Structure 1
Amino acid sequence: MSSPQYQGYAPAPAAAKTNGLAIAALVSSFFISLLGIILGHIALNQIKTTGEGGRGLAIAALVIGYVSIALAVILIVGVMGSAAANR
């Protein structure tokens, strides 16, 4: 009488590698918004084709980059409008 073979658990699936450009996009979006936007779009395209992780990082970089540029434009228009009103 032989005992049944214990098979154990299946190994845990490997964690998806995070896209390097997504990380770079997020970091750069705090300093150079336009670079964060460009890298974020490239990272999203790479993530779509390779299946890597980091989609949330790339989207966060895009949001931060676009909001920063929008705030800068609003600030510049406001300052110019204020200067024109004081003439």
Structure 2
Amino acid sequence: MHPNQPRPLPQQMYVPVMPLVVTVRPPTSGLAVTSLVLGIFGVLGGWCLLGIPCILAVIFGHFALYGMRDGRVGGRGLAIAGLVLGYLVVAPAIVLTMMGGLGALIGSVERAEPAPAAAVSSCLVSDGTATVAYTVTNKSSDSAGYRIKVTCSSSYHSGLRTNPYRPRTMSR
């Protein structure tokens, strides 16, 4: 090669240009992030705050899922995680509250006093008159004795027994 002669240029390699595909994800919903943060906080320390963070996590999680229906925001997994963590505290609290309320309701109902018991101590029939002696005892073990005299007409007198009646206990 001669010094004045131009040098041949090195061959350039052809590199094909790949199309650049850029996918744009929708921004994460702030409500979903808030639901997750409150859910974590509520599970770890929500009992000290009466479960308020968990209740808020459930509310924000449902609002976040509602807002994601049109596809403009993302974070569905965050919202569901916040809902699950929130319901871990809220659901047992609701059940325990209902059980406590039901227990208080049942405990406040006044129970009916049992019927007093009556015990017949004697029954004597003579000359058309029946005399029955019995004792009534109530719940507080107070007793009272009573006597009843019944006079029978002559038509019923023949059917009455004249021997003493054997005592027995009767109750309603």
Structure 1 length-normalised TM: 0.68
Verify the 8 A CA contact 2:31 2:64 in the aligned structure 1.
yes
CA distance in structure 1 between the aligned counterparts of 2:22 and 2:70, rounded to whole angstroms: 24
Q: CA RMSD in A?
A: 2.5
Given the alignment, which residue of 15, 18, 32 partners 1:22?
32
1:8-34 CA-to-partner distances (Å, cap 9, x unmatched) read: 223321122111110001111232100
Compute the displacement of 1:49 (Å).
2.2
1:47 corresponds to: 68
Q: What amino acid maps onto 1:16 in structure 2? A: P
Mark the runs of 5 or more structure 2 residues left unpaired by the alignment. Answer: 1-15, 43-52, 104-172
Structure 2 length-normalised TM: 0.38
* Structure 2 counterparts to residues 30-69 of structure 1, below 5 A: 30=40, 31=42, 32-69=53-90
Verify the 8 A CA contact 2:57 2:86 in the aligned structure 1.
yes
1:14-70 CA-to-partner distances (Å, cap 9, x unmatched) read: 122111110001111232100000000100011112432100111111111112112
Mark the runs of 5 or more structure 1 residues left unpaired by the alignment. Answer: 1-5, 82-87
CA distance in structure 2 between the aligned counterparts of 1:51 and 1:62, rounded to whole angstroms: 20
User: Higher strand share goes to which structure?
Assistant: 2
Q: Post-superposition, which runs of at least 4 consecutive aligned residues in structure 1 deviate over 4 A? A: 73-78
Identity of aligned residues (%): 39
Compute the displacement of 1:73 (Å).
4.4
Q: What amino acid maps onto 2:31 in structure 1? A: L
Secondary structure at the counterpart of residue 57 of structure 2: helix
Larger Rg belongs to: 2
Secondary structure at the counterpart of residue 28 of structure 1: helix
Which region of structure 1 is more displaced relative to structure 2, 7-16 or 52-61?
7-16
2:91 corresponds to: 70
User: Higher helix share goes to which structure?
Assistant: 1
Compute the displacement of 1:75 (Å).
6.0
